[in-house]
Chain A
Amino acid sequence: MEQQKNEVLPGTLNLMVLKTLSTLGSLHGYGIARRIEQISGNLLQLNQGTIYPALLHLEQMGWISSEWGVSENNRRAKFYSITRAGKKQLAAEEESWRRAAEIIVRFLEPTGGNT
């Protein structure tokens, strides 16, 4: 039976990546993808490949940095970690998303006198 999966909302991938890196510290691309899938409870339809252009973008913006390292099972991989600017950006984005979500939730929840 096929589970119904959601598309990644535009702009949210960056946020997810930043949050992941801020929680788990240094991580490689595959790890980040796995983590996003896990957190979303496998409800998210993520093309893992899309994560790389996103990582490049974040790096170009100076929000994350990267360096080559060796994975837990001895594989050469590029490890990403969040920078100070990235943390600031994350905080700002988290705040704006929380607010946006709140507004949406308010719209969707039936309020007292309206029925």
Chain B
Amino acid sequence: MTGLRVFIHRLRGLFLKRKLEQELEDEIRSHLDMQIEDNLRRGMSPDEARYEALRKFGGVEQAKENYRDRRSLPLVDATLQDLRYGVRMLLKHKGFTVVAMLSLALGIGVNTAIFSVVDSILLRPLPYPGAERLVRVLEANLKPTHAWEGWTRLGVPLADFREWRSQSQSFEDAALHASGGGYRVSEPNGLKYLIGSRVSLNLFAFLGTQAWLGRTFLPEDEKPESEHVVVLSHVYWVERYKADPHVLGQKLVINDQPHTIVGILPDSFRDYFSYSARKDLERALPLRVFPLDTTQVWLPIKVTHEAATWYGRGGNRHGAYQVLARLKPGVSTQQAQAELSDIAARLAERYPESNENLGAAVYSLHEDVTGSSRRKLLLLVAAFSLVLLIACANVASLLLARGLDRAKELAIRRTLGAGRLRMLRQLLTEYLLLAGLGGTLGLALAVGMVAGIRPLIPADIPRSDAVTLDYRALLFTLGLTVLTTLLFGLLPAWQTAKLNLTEELKEAGRSVTASRRSRRWRHVLVAGQVALTMILLVGAGLLARSFWRFYGAELGYDMRNLVRMRIASPRPFARERYERVRPTDQDAAEWKSYWQPLLESARDLPGIVDAAFTSGYPPEGVNFGTPLRIPGHTPVNPRSGPIINGDIVSEDYFRLLEIKLLQGRYFNTDDRADTAPVIIVNESFARTYFPQQPTIGQTLTLFPGSKFEHPATIVGVVADTRAQLDRPVETHHYRPIAQVPLRGLNLLARTAGQPAESMTALQDVARLFNPNRIIARPVTLDEARARLTIKPRFYLALLGSLALLALLLAATGIYGTLLLAVGQRRHEIGVRRALGAQNQDVLRLVLREGLLLALAGLGLGLLGAWALTRFISGWLADVSATDPATFIIVTVLLGVIVLLACYAPARRAVRVDPLVALRHE
């Protein structure tokens, strides 16, 4: 209470300073006057009276100073004083202030911007209630066998889910979803695939969402016999129905079944939880005929009696779901995992036939959603903090250099009684002011940068839509400002505060040579900057090289004027197992009635030069391997063999892409369903598996150990191409379309001129032959390549501009430091010139200093880069993390820039006129 009263009193003292100061002055004057009057009355002479009064009062200024300390808050008062002084100093040295402020603004700005991105994508909780307790639960395949095709995580059958639910204690609530499915929807201009999800009734409530229009699911929707209903995403409702509210109650035909539209979800609802399911779908099914960004149709899970009790146990996992659960407060993921593992073990005992080797896997939803981008974003953060370090080193070396100029001023203040701590505080206040200005400017910069970066963030990074700069970024900037002040300010402040008084006063008058220790520190800082820049440049260089190696390069054939059009299988998506068996008569008939005429008509279109079919999907590629047994090779896994990617192609595929035949023959019309299966391999395949023996005539066993096992004879070896833009050349094989039944294919066509017109014509022709097939919009391979490179380009652009920024900062740092050094050595240079030093001698003097710095920095940077680039090796496709070419190019580039930054100050030194320099003192 008293403390508060005193504080308020003192606060008043702070603001009414001038008035109170006047009052104090008046009070003391009247005191002295009264004393003098009394003294005079006692018979002293006026001088005596005054002297005696002052003596009795005992030090007017001291009394005032004591009074002032008590009157206000001395710390705040002194700080305000320091701030005013700081502002004056900054205004006085405008050049320095601008450079330092810009350095800091850049450093703080880019870091705040990247923080916002990282915070929005990685750190902020997901927009669901109790988000930090949400987990994803799946069944764990404890012995990945051939049966589950190596999948280690499996969906949870309803029956198992119910057992888990009734036996476990760890969870507050749980919901089910089967996301990432492709659903065929009839739209006015034909069939279209939409991404859909079947969910349990409580899913929306579980995620804290209500229908924006209409309703979500009700208990009767779950019954198999009740009417089919669908809830639409806001996006789809706007896109397809133009946000028409009367759409409720209308029918939408999904997978040939009419569904009643009962609700629309709010615009703000995000299905981040189904991200990995959508991602899995993309990996398993390369049929990218629909955008994978968000779930568009929501359907209820229909619970049949079988499903609830047994369905899914017998080995058919089509009735399996993803489980979303919310842990009870205080229960850890590990505890939940342990509990579910126990339950799963009991189930495995009770139902050995279906549940043997099945465990449970519990992991945090947040990690699941953010995991894919975490590593890259954290690396970016690391790179960005390097730039901040460089900026700090820049400012620190500028301050050190300026500290020399200020040595005299500070020494005088010390002599006048300023304490060491007091001076340290004053300097730090000044620096904080500088950092504060830099931080404010940086924040403005960050706002601009975030706005600039946002549209560039690849949309398939989950939560990229939520990137904003909020109060957390503000706090971050504040923290960063204080941190940078400490980073750049402590060294110069410490250097200045430990000044030797007599030395400085003696020396500062002459400034013959710069103080040695301060110069040493400045050298360390400059070398450090060069080293950090080197690390960033090498990192960016490696990424660029890897980028050009794949994304910039061709696939091994001419990609220009090639158009790709996906014609989907009429069946809903399921892994195309039928690819493994021999074709039936029906397949042959379909080839004759649909595919072959389609191909011929496409070829006849004006503007189309040639066309072919392939199951491959250039340039994205297909991760769809075929297990093979190869004569003379014992596979690691005796049950199967190496799994090698292959395409199923029409016989004219090689001609279309001009892929050279090296040995044997291409496919021809004699390779039919009823002739012996043949296969063509690429050069890498032949080299890897048949280095000595002739390749032609070897017989491979396809799908060994499975019921689809059958032989195929190698009839040709073709030149290597890359199947996938982001991978190097790999072993690859081709099988003829006529010998493999396929329901969906890609039509590749080469156009004569501009592909645009031919593309619409292609789509029309494909529709003409069968309006019920889903035909994706044709794209040129160049277009597809551009879309594929968005993400790597984003990271590369970010890191590249960062490296350039670092280069700029470091060059300014070296330039500024040397320029100041030259300025401080004017006198010395003048003396040397007077003693007969030639231009080259002076040039050498300065350049030597710069060169030594550069070499030290480059050496350190090489070591650092060598040690650190391994952390980005995951990003580098087929480029070693210590790629010599990159290291050499970067060293030379940086060396040249550093030399240029040294040369300008050296020229300046040459122009020093000995007469002027000597007279200057």
Contact = CB atoms under 8 A, between A and B. Distances in A.
A25 interface: no
Main secondary structure of the interface of B (DSSP, over half): helix
A23 interface: no
15 contacts: A30-B34, A30-B35, A48-B56, A49-B58, A49-B59, A50-B66, A56-B70, A56-B71, A57-B70, A59-B9, A60-B5, A60-B10, A77-B30, A78-B27, A78-B30
Given A30-B34, A30-B35, A73-B37, A52 B5 contact: no
Interface of A: 28-30, 33-34, 47-50, 52-53, 56-57, 59-62, 71, 73, 75-78
B5 A62 contact: yes
B24 interface: yes
B30 A52 contact: no
Contact of B34 (A62, A71, A78): A71
Given A52-B28, A57-B70, A62-B5, A77 B34 contact: yes
B2 A75 contact: no
B65 to A, nearest CB: 9
B51 to A, nearest CB: 14
A77 B70 CA distance: 21
Contacts of A77: 27, 30-31, 34
Given A53-B63, A75-B33, A29 B27 contact: yes
Contacts of A78: 23, 26-27, 30
A61 B9 CA distance: 9
A76 B63 CA distance: 20
B70 A49 contact: no
Given A56-B67, A61-B6, A75-B30, 12 more contacts: A28-B31, A29-B27, A29-B31, A30-B30, A33-B31, A49-B62, A50-B63, A53-B66, A56-B71, A60-B5, A62-B2, A78-B23
A52 B9 contact: no
A61 B66 CA distance: 17
Nearest to B6: A60
10 interchain residue pairs of minimum CB distance:
A49-B63, A47-B58, A53-B66, A60-B9, A30-B34, A30-B31, A77-B30, A60-B6, A49-B57, A48-B57
B60 interface: yes
A21 B107 CA distance: 62
A31 B896 CA distance: 80
A109 B60 CA distance: 42
A44 B382 CA distance: 69
A71 B30 contact: yes
A33 to B, nearest CB: 8
A48 to B, nearest CB: 5
A53 B65 CA distance: 9
Nearest to B38: A34
Contacts of A62: 2, 5
Interface in B454-505: none
Nearest to B23: A78
Contacts of A50: 58, 63, 66
A76 B31 contact: no
A62 B8 CA distance: 12
Nearest to B34: A30
A59 B9 CA distance: 9
Contact of A75 (B10, B34, B57, B66): B34
Nearest to B61: A49
Interface string B66-102: 1101110000000000000000000000000000000
A77 B33 CA distance: 11
Interface residues of B, number: 29
Interface string B45-60: 0000000000011111
Interface centre among B34, B57, B62, B66 (most CB of A within 10 A): B34
Contact of B5 (A28, A29, A48, A61): A61
Nearest to A45: B58
Contacts of A34: 38
A50 B28 CA distance: 11
Contacts of A75: 30, 33-34
A76 B37 contact: no
A61 B57 contact: no
B11 to A, nearest CB: 11
Contacts of A52: 24, 27-28, 63, 66-67
B818 to A, nearest CB: 53
A62 B4 CA distance: 11
Interface string B18-45: 0000011011101101110110000000
Contacts of A59: 9
Contacts of A48: 31, 35, 56-58
Nearest to A56: B70
Contact of A47 (B2, B5, B34, B59): B59
Nearest to B56: A48
Contacts of B6: 60-61
A109 to B, nearest CB: 35
A71 B58 CA distance: 23
A52 B10 CA distance: 15
A70 B674 CA distance: 127
A57 B28 CA distance: 16
A34 B42 CA distance: 15
Given A52-B24, A52-B27, A56-B67, A61 B2 contact: yes
A41 to B, nearest CB: 16
Interface centre among A34, A53, A62 (most CB of B within 10 A): A53
A16 B632 CA distance: 111
A11 B336 CA distance: 66
B73 to A, nearest CB: 12
A52 B21 CA distance: 13
A22 to B, nearest CB: 20
Contacts of A53: 63, 66-67, 69-70
A30 B2 CA distance: 27
Contacts of B34: 28, 30, 71, 73, 75, 77
A52 B25 CA distance: 11
B234 to A, nearest CB: 63
Nearest to A75: B30
A47 B24 CA distance: 17
Contacts of B2: 61-62
A3 to B, nearest CB: 14
Contacts of B57: 47-49
A49 B60 contact: yes
A113 to B, nearest CB: 47
Contacts of B5: 60-62
A68 to B, nearest CB: 8
A82 to B, nearest CB: 17
Contacts of A57: 70
Contacts of A29: 27, 31
Contacts of B26: 76, 78
Contacts of A61: 2, 5-6
B668 to A, nearest CB: 106
Contacts of B56: 47-48
Contacts of B58: 47-50
Contacts of A30: 30-31, 34-35
Contacts of A33: 31
A49 to B, nearest CB: 3
Nearest to B53: A48
A73 B30 CA distance: 11
A37 to B, nearest CB: 9
Interface in B652-678: none
Contacts of B70: 53, 56-57, 60
Contacts of B27: 29, 52, 77-78
B49 to A, nearest CB: 14
A17 B334 CA distance: 71
A61 to B, nearest CB: 6
Contacts of A71: 30, 34
A47 B10 CA distance: 24
Contacts of B59: 47, 49
Interface centre among B5, B9, B10, B24 (most CB of A within 10 A): B9
A76 B26 CA distance: 8
